[in-house]
Amino acid sequence: MIVPFAPGGPTVVSARLIAAKLTESLRQQVVVDNRAGAGGNIGIGLVANAGADGYTLLMVSSSFVVNPGLYKKIPYDPYKSFIPVSNVAASPNVFTAHPSSPVKSIAELVNLAKSSPGKFNIGTPGIGTTPDLSARLLALTAKIDLAPIPFGGAGPAVAAVVGNQLPFGCTAMPPTTPHIQAGRLRPLAVTSAKRSAALPNVPTMEEAGFKGQEADTLQGLLVPAGTSKAIVDKLHAEIVRIVALPDVKERVVGLGFDIIASSPQQFSAQIKTEVEKWTKVVKNAGIEVQ
């Protein structure tokens, strides 16, 4: 199982959980192989060129659907190089404010930004990450001047808002939730279609009055194009079974993710929707294609 990221992140943790359970049920060793680099493109490209025999799996995050719009050339076609198995789990981004800020909702943030154009910034984990694109999407749709300040990862972005160096942030759920629970950050809204199990009292963007802002960090499983339907169906059935196991579910939810376990057809449709959506946001936000 190829994971196109360095060890340590939530996608790698989930991949190791699933690989261990697949090893038990299939009675074949499933090893997680981290192949990081080029925003995930190196690992993804390896699987795009792998044999379609069911022995090579790919666990991706949202870079899979963002990179087609962010890079001039990538080593895969998001529609033709793979067969989607399942979006295993997803975690929304969360807009936050420092507790000293008078802003208590997304509507108040938008009104404040409109009243003082160019005065306020928002911290994000890095250009082209889903939190960064979420912040840019809000600015585009609400027609506000809210410039993202991209950091080198979620940790520094969260720390900047906790330390009141920036008034607002948009970051992924896992590194942000502990600070919200401790009162060091005020949550404004989550970018999921439904409220998150980790922050059930925080409204969604749609509930906050802003439709079309859905953005999740996905954890998706794919196989090379040409893999037989029998193998795909078997893998999907295993994913559904594995994520329903109490120990796996507890760990994944503990990482700040909600269990999805979508069908191959649902995941395929999601990939198409998200590639188109984020390519448009990258273009409209004026992000330089790499």
Q: Tell me what pLDDT residue 207 has.
A: 97
Query: Is 131 found in the same domain as 82?
Result: no
Q: Based on the domain organization, do 185 and 221 belong to the same domain? A: no
**What mean pLDDT comes out for the span 187-195?**
95
pLDDT at position 9, please? Answer: 77
Of 172, 190, 208, which residue is a domain's last?
190
Residues 158 and 228 in one domain: no
**Would residue 41 count as lying in a domain?**
yes
Write out pLDDT tens, residues 99-150.
999 999 999 999 999 999 989 999 999 898 999 999 999 999 999 999 999 9
177 with 96, same domain: the answer is: yes
| 135 and 271 together in one domain | no
Average pLDDT of the segment spanning 279-285: 94
- Which of 190, 225, 259 is at the close of a domain? 190
pLDDT tens digit string along 96-105? 999 999 999 9
Q: Do 161 and 17 share a structural domain? A: no
Answer yes or no: do 105 and 133 share one domain.
yes
CA-based nearest residue to 282, from 154, 146, 152, 134: 134
Residues 30 and 111 both lie in one domain? no
Q: Which of 6-10, 105-109, 207-211, 282-286 bottoms out in mean pLDDT, i.e. has the lowest?
A: 6-10
- pLDDT higher than threshold 80 for residue 193: yes
Please tell me what DSSP assigns to residue 165: S
Q: In this structure, is residue 260 part of a structural domain?
A: yes
Predicted confidence at residue 255, as pLDDT, reads 83
pLDDT tens figures, 49-85: 999 999 999 999 999 999 999 999 999 999 999 999 9
77 and 119 part of one domain: no
Our count of domains for the chain comes to 2
Quick one: which H or E segment has residue 78?
Answer: none
Return the CATH number at 44.
3.40.190.150
What Å distances lie between residue 229 and 5, 54, 224, 233, 272, CA to CA? Answer: 28, 10, 12, 6, 20
pLDDT tens digits for 11-20?
A: 888 999 999 9
CA distance readout (Å), 45 to 19, 42, 49, 76: 20, 5, 7, 6
Residue 232 lies in a domain: yes
Q: What are the tens digits of pLDDT across the range 207-260?
A: 999 999 999 989 999 999 999 999 999 999 999 999 999 999 998 888 888 899
Task: Look up the domain containing 280 and give its range.
Answer: 2-90+216-284
The DSSP code for 127 is T
